[in-house]
Structure 1
């Protein structure tokens, strides 16, 4: 039997998981997998530590239309019987919002869950499912230690001016501030910077986490100084289905002139905007890049324009730029998006090696570029695994 830490990232219709040996250091994953189609027709896929797909007879049998409450016990049973048996000693969870008080990973208690429940309105697409997974594990494996790791925690190093809105102070004191998200991804990238940049690792770095959800973070001394997302995960960059930064007057117009309710506006901004809304075709960047429709080109062009503008603004917070890191699904895989963003930033000293960029190489900046431009795959799961092991074992 192998002692292991289970890492879970629960969404509304999917459950991503990874299993790591329960040990010190930076362990390699023993297994990675995903259950998609939760609530309709769940489908399991998984890979072993070498990246090989698990054979079909090693995969779980999933009941039709099963929800998290049925699937998490099935996943735990499958792990216990897999390859001679894995003994899960603890479970670590991605939790999107930790509010102002949760500045580090925390062992799950009833009091913590109650506190995190109050933050659901600030991350309605993620927080309810993150917490549901914690409760499902607790019901399936009573006594199993669980750890919550927060996407907001990495940004609590920012000074007050990076966090404040120009609103009445009473609202600020109630918690209406800029929180920032994708912190687990930024935490991982920051932990790798010295290996990639040497002495420049503590310099002025901007990380572009570009995926269906997208944001950027300005980092100095490997700590968050400023970030594009704010009070909620709607702010900042244009995303797959989210609008990003928006004049608040648009919301007032939709209410007063279009008669839209708060729920209708929420659905519009979270689910019908971004790449999907502008293109009318898809929220998937690869699909849009393959399309010849002018609406698809508009969506890509706006995505890259907004990203370049946000990146330039973040450089103000750190006094310039020494390195730019692209990560996450679009950032790691779209040479076109990287090129279109960097072309607008030549005045900042950013220059790409087109051949290296086309190959998704690690270093894609030209030899003459004073700004290093790198592509670094992120790994939020290993950040959670490290934190979970550290807390459980003291």
Structure 2
């Protein structure tokens, strides 16, 4: 039985899945090592939900991504799922030259390393497993699937910043991210509601990383994220949209260095910075203090503002889709956001919303509202299989 391994390496977590590719893609194993470098914990389940691993590790055992990869690799080798023929990877930043997945070579790896400053939380972790496998199994096919690729359907005009055009040619442009999630949701929406899927749709990917995307006929035409994964909505620890003058002020008046500024914007801002408590929406909902209220109110407010921007880009709105951790699991946040979108014609059904139904808007809503769970790993598996088959 031929299999492919899917690797989604984040800043402190390593998600992996094994798929059989005999006739169609069949998920065999799904696992995650989280808390890398702090409180390492490994969970692995079979396709039928059986718990195969559920173990905590001391920090010194899994201090970094390489250690996590070794441990996961040992587990997979001890329980072989079949003949591994390829590995598919999520790579957050693909730069301006990649509108589709690509087979990894030494040259491609070097190119992708150049984009590390544009995604410092993600790109190093994305590339670490690729580098190790290239060294140890150079003949094993590895496929890079880019979070930026789905947004290459934008009109180039929308991806320009209003700075001298020579910088656009250099690669300073709006890229957009979470593309694998949006691509999956667009495909799923086309299955469950074909008419809606061909229309004007806003998808809100709301998790620790958060963004929104405007879809028309299933293609991305605009996104809240730009040159880096800092733009748009406030996120768990990232600032979201900010006046560049604030950055100049911090550099000039506070004497901050570039690394200090990077840490502030990527690790100490967003919901964590506003609340002073946590970057986790669940924790903020459970705390009725002023900081938690401010963080959540700001989050909802910015989603509302960005929804208006994307609706303007689409020339109207037919559907709004919630996806990712917060969007899929928090009925409270869906209700608060939908209320903010009432002026666009959104009207939620409280019973459907509380149940987490696929369609959560009521019969009178001018805009259909859906909850569509995302599946980035399956999207990567599809791309990987298609590329090696070709």
Asked if TM exceeds 0.5, the reply is yes
Match of 1:350 in 2: 346
Match of 1:177 in 2: 173
TM-score (norm 2): 0.96
What does 1:53-92 correspond to in 2, within 5 Å?
Answer: 53-54=51-52, 64-82=61-79, 85-92=81-88
CA shift for structure 1 position 345: 1.5
CA shift for structure 1 position 66: 4.8
Match of 1:13 in 2: 12
Match of 2:286 in 1: 290
- CA–CA distance in 1 between the matches of 2:296 and 2:58? 39
C-alpha change, 1:350 and 1:40, in structure 2 (3 Å) is closer
Q: Is 1:218 the counterpart of 2:214 in the alignment?
A: yes
Residues 70-123 of structure 1: CA deviation (Å, up to 9, x unaligned): 4424433422332x6432111000000000001100000011001101111110
- CA–CA distance in 2 between the matches of 1:325 and 1:3? 35
CA shift for structure 1 position 342: 1.3
Match of 1:95 in 2: 91
Shifted more, 338-347 versus 267-276: the winner is: 338-347
What does 1:274-289 correspond to in 2, within 5 Å?
Answer: 274-289=270-285
What does 1:1-394 correspond to in 2, within 5 Å?
Answer: 2-23=1-22, 25=24, 27-40=25-38, 42-54=40-52, 64-82=61-79, 85-394=81-390
Shifted more, 138-147 versus 63-72: the winner is: 63-72
Residues 24, 386 of structure 1: 8 Å contact kept: no
Residues 235, 245 of structure 1: 8 Å contact kept: yes
- CA–CA distance in 1 between the matches of 2:333 and 2:184? 22
Residues 62, 68 of structure 2: 8 Å contact kept: no
Residues 42, 63 of structure 1: 8 Å contact kept: no
- CA–CA distance in 2 between the matches of 1:66 and 1:245? 33
CA shift for structure 1 position 65: 3.5
CA shift for structure 1 position 268: 0.7
- CA–CA distance in 2 between the matches of 1:235 and 1:264? 18
SS at match of 2:363: coil
C-alpha change, 1:209 and 1:23, in structure 2 (3 Å) is farther
SS at match of 1:337: helix
CA shift for structure 1 position 231: 0.4
TM-score (norm 1): 0.95
What RMSD in Å do the two structures reach over aligned CA positions?
Answer: 1.9
CA shift for structure 1 position 69: 3.0
Residues 41, 54 of structure 2: 8 Å contact kept: no
Tell me how many residue pairs correspond in the alignment. Answer: 390
Shifted more, 254-263 versus 183-192: the winner is: 254-263
Point out 4+ residue stretches in structure 1 off by more than 6 angstroms.
59-63
CA shift for structure 1 position 179: 0.3
CA shift for structure 1 position 135: 0.9
- Name stretches of at least 5 consecutive residues in structure 1 with no aligned partner: none
Residues 8-34 of structure 1: CA deviation (Å, up to 9, x unaligned): 011232211011112464x24111101
- CA–CA distance in 2 between the matches of 1:243 and 1:75? 33
Residues 151-171 of structure 1: CA deviation (Å, up to 9, x unaligned): 000000000221011001111
- CA–CA distance in 2 between the matches of 1:120 and 1:141? 24
SS at match of 2:135: helix
CA shift for structure 1 position 174: 0.7
